[in-house]
Amino acid sequence: MLTRYLFVLLIFCTFIVARGQNVVVDSSYIVQKQIKRLLIAGNNDTALFYIQKLGASAERDMFLRIARNTATTADINAFLSSLEIANKLELRNVNYFLKLKCKVPSGSSQVDLDYVKTKWTQILSMLNEELLKEAEAEHLVLTSYIRSCTDSAARDHKRAEIYASLYNILVASIQRDAPALEKMSLDNLRKATALADTDLIVASRYFFSEILMFAGNIGGYIENADTCLIMEKNRRVKSTFYQPTVMHYLDAVIFRKSYDAEYVMHLLLSLYNDPAAKYLTYSLYAKFLGSLSSDSKWAKQIYKQFQVAGLESFSARVVKDAEGKINSNELSALYSECASALMQHGLYKEAYRYKNKEINTIRKIYSNELAQSLADNQTLEIKRTKAIETAKLQKENAAKQMAVTRQRQVIWVISIALFIVVLLILFLFRLIKQRNLSNNQLSSVNLDLQRLNKLNQKIFYVISHDFNAPLLTLSLMVKNLRKDADPIAVRHLDEVENQFNSAQDVLTNLLNWSKAEISIAGNNAVQKADLKQTTNEILSQLYRKAVEKKISFRCHNLENVELIIPRDILRIVLRNLVSNAIKFSHPESTVEISFYDQEKQLKIVDYGIGIDPEKIKDLFTKEVVSDFGTNYEPGFGIGLYIVAELLRKYDCSIKVDSDPGKETIFTITFQK
């Protein structure tokens, strides 16, 4: 009885809050969410009470069959497709629910396509939540079932094979294997088209869109997404990839500023009216307003829809409405789009305020993700340790005991030896104290320096191992998440990856610089780097930054050039200089990279804001303070200092010439 009262009170409070914000709440949607939670938890009796409160509908009948344990695989598939899974814990609860409700069909040569779709949706959710091993296990179950159905010529069997192959496409996407991704996507598209299966056609085109994005073909990407939307237009039940396709399409056409405003408004409203997607549309609305003039018909229509007077009040309204209702990644994307829209309309003060909110949110995400990564690693280590066989544990313990005994023996020997050495030093010190005091002091200082040098080596080895490993893990997580995320999350993840890459570059620069200072490398052999190959690698890494500002690159005379410098050092130098060139260049400008063989000089030229002559003298010192770029990109202020120090270690030099407001030229002179 108490549960019923609490639930009614929850609905009442939600309605009152929504009224205060001029938002109409669909109480049926809230009740259905509660029913889904109860069914997943196995509380069928309580779920039945709330199901009786729903009006007659196909969803109500489906809930009843699930609660009464009479559901078909079609019911389970429809139920699973309607869920909004927010984290790994919820997914594990859903997986347990499926284990009880969705058994592998048997006794038929015909494939059960609803079972296949259910397993595919489950596998997709696992990949989205980074449960890679679990996803692989379920994929094996699915493929084994399909092979057990002997009627391979049937239409549903062919469709099932395409669903199963989507797993391999997703893996190729995670691994950024563009050739495999393109081949499998086009092969699936051909098969799905022959079967006239809209769901599979849209799914195949969705993954093919990633190939177009890799190639920077935004026009082809928009055309591909538009084709999918036309196919989905008159369908009552949309495909799994409909909503992300709409968001990606809107993001792309608004970015390119080549759109039918009325069609854009239609798509925005269709998402806004979906309770599950409403708050995710706010950043798209902000992006759209940034591309419109303040007095345009569509801007006024949006302001009227949100009951605000202009862009500033719109930004304040949607941010206040979304805070606490969407996750940190989505909130950071909203801050970013509001800042961008305000800046495009000349409202720089307000734009700077939202940019600060975005940066603070990103820093918080970094901190939370790092803590979660460390916690996950510790959990995995505990599980792995518990899984070791008893005999192996005993063997390892015996080996450890023997090692400890040997270590103690070594420690005793070293201690005795040290004691003898100390006695000898004291004795010698007494003999030569008066005659050689200055030499003894110098020797003592030298010993301290040696110990400090060894300590520095150990410290930087620990930093390199214990920091780089988690950073690389986080980088992979961000890349994997971006592959299957919605467009808002993609933009945020792009920003996260840019910020993360900057931090990782600083760490790498500091480590390499420190190694050069204390001679950790210890490699006296002549090392050479291929200039063309290394430059292409850096330009590929910085591709997204350049695309965001519409910056192009021009390279001259880089082929067949080998420089007498380690490749890793050249990477650090080029990444810092090219990244700075992008950062301080005006949008739609050019960055030139040229090599002059006779002088052995590499020049990197950008046509941006330039450098104040007063700052040039301190540019390669630790005294320089980093400025924001032309799009308010943050920096760390130490990159050029490290570049200069690393080049000096390899007998190279760097200088800069700048004409403020016109161009900046960085010139590196290498060994001849």
* pLDDT for 593: 95
**Which residues pair with residue 486 across a beta bridge?**
none
313 and 416 within one domain: no
Say which residue, 530 or 476, is predicted with more confidence.
Answer: 530
Note the pTM of the prediction, 2 decimals: 0.46
Same domain, yes or no, for 646 and 548?
yes
Q: Is residue 223 part of a domain?
A: no
> pLDDT value at position 520?
40
End position of a domain, from candidates 358, 387, 416: 387
**Residue 14's pLDDT is what?**
35
- Residue 473, domain extent: 391-479
Q: Is the pLDDT of residue 335 over 60?
A: yes
Same domain, 397 and 371: no
Question: Which of 505, 480, 553 lies closest to 135, judged by CA?
Answer: 480
Q: Residue 603 pLDDT more than 90?
A: yes
Amino acid in position 44: N
Residue 212 inside a domain? The answer is no
Q: Please report the pLDDT score of residue 544 as a whole number.
A: 83
Q: What whole-number percentage of the chain has pLDDT above 90?
A: 11
Residue 649 lies in a domain: yes
Specify the higher pLDDT residue, 188 or 507: 188
pLDDT band at 443 (very low <50, low <70, confident <90, very high): low
pLDDT at 338: 92
Is residue 444 one of the residues assigned to a domain? yes
Q: Residue 44 corresponds to which tokens in the numbers above?
A: 């069928």
| Secondary structure class of 653 (helix, strand, coil) | strand
* pLDDT at res. 450: 63
Residue with the bigger pLDDT between 125 and 313: it is: 313
Query: How far from 65 is each of 33, 48, 61, 74, 343, CA to CA, in Å?
Result: 17, 10, 6, 11, 54
Residue 225 lies in a domain: no
- CATH number, domain of 644, equals 3.30.565.10
- In terms of domains, do 545 and 462 share one? no
Same domain, 343 and 461: no
* pLDDT for residue 9 is more than 60: no
Same domain, yes or no: 581 and 541: yes
pLDDT band at 590 (very low <50, low <70, confident <90, very high): very high
Residue 524 has pLDDT above 70, yes or no: no
Is residue 632's pLDDT more than 50? Answer: yes
Query: What pLDDT digit, counting tens, does each position of 591-602 carry?
Result: 999 999 999 999
Q: Please check whether residues 329 and 383 belong to one and the same domain.
A: yes
Q: Are residues 557 and 614 part of one domain?
A: yes
The mean per-residue pLDDT over the stretch 564-575 comes to 89
Q: How many domains is the chain built from? A: 4
> What is the spatial distance between Cα 495 and Cα 516, in angstroms, rounded to a whole number?
32
Residue where a domain stops, chosen among 443, 461, 479: 479
Question: Nearest-CA neighbor of 639 among 536, 508, 506, 450?
Answer: 506
The yes-or-no verdict on residue 663 having pLDDT over 60 is yes
SS3 349: helix
Q: What is the DSSP letter of 593?
A: E
Residue 568 has pLDDT above 80, yes or no: yes
pLDDT digits (tens, 9 = 90+) for 397-435: 767 777 777 777 778 778 888 778 777 777 776 777 766
**What does the pLDDT average to over 478-494?**
67
Q: Report the pLDDT value the prediction gives residue 447, as an integer from 0 to 100.
A: 65
Q: Is residue 357 part of a domain?
A: yes
Asked whether residue 659 falls in the same domain as residue 609, the answer is yes
- When pLDDT is averaged across residues 36-40 and rounded to a whole number, the result is 89
Question: For residues 581 and 606, is the Cβ–Cβ distance under 8 A?
Answer: yes
For residues 531 and 563, state if they share a domain.
yes
Confirm if 18 and 28 have CB atoms less than 8 A apart: no
pLDDT for position 10: 35
Q: What is the largest CA-CA distance in the chain?
A: 106
Interval 342-357: pLDDT, tens: 999 998 888 889 888 8
CA 101 to chain centroid: 34
Whether residue 630 lies inside any domain: the answer is: yes
- Residue 331: pLDDT above 50? yes
Q: Is residue 37 exposed (0-12), middle (13-18) or buried (19+ Cβ within 10 Å)?
A: middle
Give the pLDDT confidence of 210-229 residue by residue, as tens digits: 777 777 788 888 888 888 88
Instruction: Read off the amino acid at residue 306.
Output: F
- pLDDT greater than 90 at residue 505: no
Evaluated on CA atoms 547, 345, 341, 265, the torsion sign reads negative
Q: Which of 47, 6, 55 is nearest to 26 (CA)?
A: 55
Binned at pLDDT 50, 70 and 90, residue 667 comes out as: very high
* Better-predicted residue by pLDDT, 57 or 368: 57
Residue 468, pLDDT score: 58
Percent of the chain with pLDDT over 70: 75
* pLDDT value at residue 604: 95
Looking at the fold, whether 552 and 656 belong to one and the same domain comes out as yes
Q: Find the angle CA(242)-CA(245)-CA(248) to the nearest 5 degrees.
A: 155
Report the chain's mean pLDDT, rounded to a whole number: 78
pLDDT at 462 over 70: no
Lowest-pLDDT range of 146-160, 373-387, 397-411, 652-666: 373-387
pLDDT of residue 210: 75
At residue 3, the pLDDT reads 40
- Are residue 354 and residue 419 in the same domain, yes or no? no
Contacts from 255-259 at CB under 8 Å and sequence distance 24+? 255/218, 255/287, 256/218, 256/219, 256/222, 257/291, 258/222
DSSP-based helix, strand, coil % in the chain, nearest 5: 70, 5, 25
- Residue 149 in this model has a pLDDT that exceeds 50: yes
Q: Where among 425, 449, 479 does a domain terminate? A: 479
At 307, is the pLDDT very low, low, confident or very high (cuts 50, 70, 90)? very high
Instruction: Render pLDDT for 77-120 as a digit per residue (tens, 0 to 9).
Output: 888 878 877 677 788 888 888 888 888 888 888 989 888 888 88
